Amino acid sequence: MSQFGCCVFQVTMKALYAQRNSPGEEMTFVFQERENLPPSRAHDVKVQVRACALSCVDTKLLAEIKLKKELVPVGREISGVVLEVGSKVTFFQPDDEVVGILPLDSEESGVCEVILVHEHYLAHKPQKVCWAEAAGTLRDGLRAYTALHYLAPVSPGSSVLVLDGASPFGTIAIQLAQHRGAKVISTAHSLEDKQYLERLRPAGARVIDVSHGKIDLAESCLEETGGLGVDIVLDAGVRLYSAEDEAGSRCQLLPHKHDIITLLGVGGRWITTERNLQLDPPDSHSLYLKGATVSFLNEEVWNLSSVQQGKYLAILEDIMDKLSNGIFRPQLDEAIPLYEAKVSMEIVQKNQARKRQVIQF
């Protein structure tokens, strides 16, 4: 086990950051030169990054937890090789292959060749799992586990509705639910999405094409479940108001909150990604009559509190295990070289990427 400080590296590296602009302006992304890593601590692990997945910078969440920086590090899901370990690191040693999600308050950008990471944010990567798949599955795997293992545990025979199943997150959620023995129903937002979902293996998920707006989602789900309703709903956002009040083609493809409540079964669980969900008294009364519950999906809670650190690391290890065994097959775009990272991040920030974007070093 080597300790930091044994030798000095003077290597200039590039790291990608998001630059905050005036309110209302789009976020811009810039490369910053860095010559040295910040001072290391006893529990730090020096990692040579091999791949980094890109995900949207959540400016609202950063503001809510009082993280106000002019330059915000970009790229938090990483895979790589351990170069050195601090004096108190016990779980890793040089040459170990690792994965991890950098915390929200990290000073490090994952889009950089070498970074320092606290050992409690890392897990081992199986050698048979490639770098891009490891980094590209972490966040979606964590979200799927949070939803279908902790918020609404899936059991054999239960029915699960995954909205926008062809998204990177939807794909992993379907695979986890099917692995647990659930009957899965999914919505497709286009003909391409429908074809992708029908090709997914193992087959068996019922696909409902909502791209033309002619399908009554609640009616279709009730028909699929013999009128009993769905046990678990995992949304990708919902419409809170009428179609005329919410512009944008994406909003038109989302179900109305009343549809979700209607298709829920007795004792059903609705896992929502809609942070501004508003339930009126009649909505609450309908949920009360069904004994149904609503939970909010925010996978960042694992890194915002260290209380559940053991469970969090167990999830990361299990995600890698399911990748290694072929249970998870992520929805990834072709690997992106470092020089295209800025353009790719702009696409991700605008929510225009239908596949997970991964930078390969």
pLDDT in tens, 232-247: 999 998 988 765 555 5
pTM value > 0.75: yes
Decide which of 105 and 144 is more confident: 144
Helices 309-324 and 168-179: crossing angle in degrees, nearest 10, is 90
Mean pLDDT calculated for residue range 119-131: 96
pLDDT band with cut points at 50, 70 and 90 for residue 307: confident
Report, in angstroms and rounded to the nearest whole number, the Rg of the chain calculated over CA atoms.
Answer: 21
The region of weakest confidence among 214-228, 236-250, 292-306, 310-324 is 236-250
Q: What is the pLDDT of residue 9?
A: 45
Q: How far is CA 219 from CA 127, 226, 259, in A?
A: 46, 11, 9
**What integer pLDDT is reported at residue 2 of this predicted model?**
46
Q: Which residues contact 183 (CB under 8 A, 6 or more apart)?
A: 157, 158, 159, 160, 204, 206
Whether pLDDT at 351 is above 80:
yes
Where b means 16+ CB within 10 Å and e means fewer, 9-18 reads: eeeebebbbb
Residue 11 to residue 31: CA distance in whole angstroms: 16
